[in-house]
Amino acid sequence: MQKTVFITGATAGFGKAMAERYAREGWRLVLTGRRNDRLEELKNELAPAPVLTLRFDVRDRAACEAAVASLPADFADIDVLVNNAGLALGLEPAQACDLNDWETMIDTNIKGLTYITRAILPGMVARNTGHVVNLGSVAGTYPYPGGNCYGGTKAFVNQFSKNLLADLLGTKVRVTNLEPGLCETEFSVVRFKGDKAAADKVYAGTSPITATDIAECVYWATTLPAHVNINSMEIMPVDQAFGPFAIHRS
Ligand code: NDP
Ligand code: 8X3
């Protein structure tokens, strides 16, 4: 039977690549984001795949609930939810950050993710099948200068994902926290507020993970046999690793 995937933030980066991956395998797709032109373009690109586009801001709780409640019968039974919509804003030290940026990250990466999950999870439990994939980050595990609030939101995603598993024990619903490292998408352009040159510097001289790589990981994790749960998946390019502890010497 044809399965349905619901992807938030499908207008760019990981979300778009995931839409392409699932469409190729004949899934039904619910694709969301704020940029309607991009959603429509993607729907045309994926035709004749069955695609439903929903334009809303995940920070808007009522809009999230209304979007899920509006799903027509043929798209209503979600097999895979990918909570992908998210962003980082700024790389300044905490004491110099714009509090509005912190609020936007918390509202999007934490609150938006919980609104969508809470709206979709009861159906999965009732049908005793489903898979929630959350986009965490290595930034949720490993601290780095300027990661402050962004890393904090992704640490929430990690713990929330594991706590979901605790609550879902006894059901067949699966949960995966995917934690990517350096990946080239629109992520850094957004982080640096449109400064493409600053964004390009992040990836200069490296071979970062691509959106297609991430789509492959998500597709793999969600198509394993039903008794297997990938709790978390950390993925970094070969060109990225860990440094020593930083020590200040006076
Ligand atoms: P992109 O900037 O390329 O894509 C982000 C997507 O999120 C867009 O489709 C955007 O759609 C959507 N989005 C952002 N804010 C909102 C909002 N308020 N409401 C609805 N949709 C929103 O970034 P990536 O693909 O790289 O990032 C996807 C996820 O992966 C994020 O959660 C990010 O934190 C995480 N991640 C990224 C890494 C990277 O290095 N790229 C590494 C680790 C994790 P629109 O603007 O149309 O609303
Ligand atoms: C994105 C990866 O290292 O830029 O979550 O925070 S990083």
Do 29 and 5 meet the contact criterion of CB atoms below 8 Å apart?
A: yes
pLDDT of res. 1: 82
Terminal-to-terminal C-alpha distance of the chain: 66
Indicate which atom in ligand 1 lies nearest the CA of residue 38. Answer: 47
**Tens of pLDDT along 178-210?**
999 999 999 999 999 999 999 999 999 999 999
Q: How far apart are the C-alpha atoms of 183 and 75, rounded to whole Å? A: 30
pLDDT of res. 80: 99
pLDDT grade for 23, boundaries at 50, 70 and 90 = very high
pLDDT of 101 higher than 90: yes
**Tens of pLDDT along 155-176?**
999 999 999 999 999 999 999 9
Indicate which atom in ligand 1 lies nearest the CA of residue 59. Answer: 18
Predicted TM-score (pTM) of the model is 0.98
Fold of 4-235: Rossmann fold (3.40.50)
pLDDT of 106 higher than 90: yes
| Mutation pick for ligand 2 pocket among 84, 178, 182 (CB with most ligand atoms within 8 Å) | 182
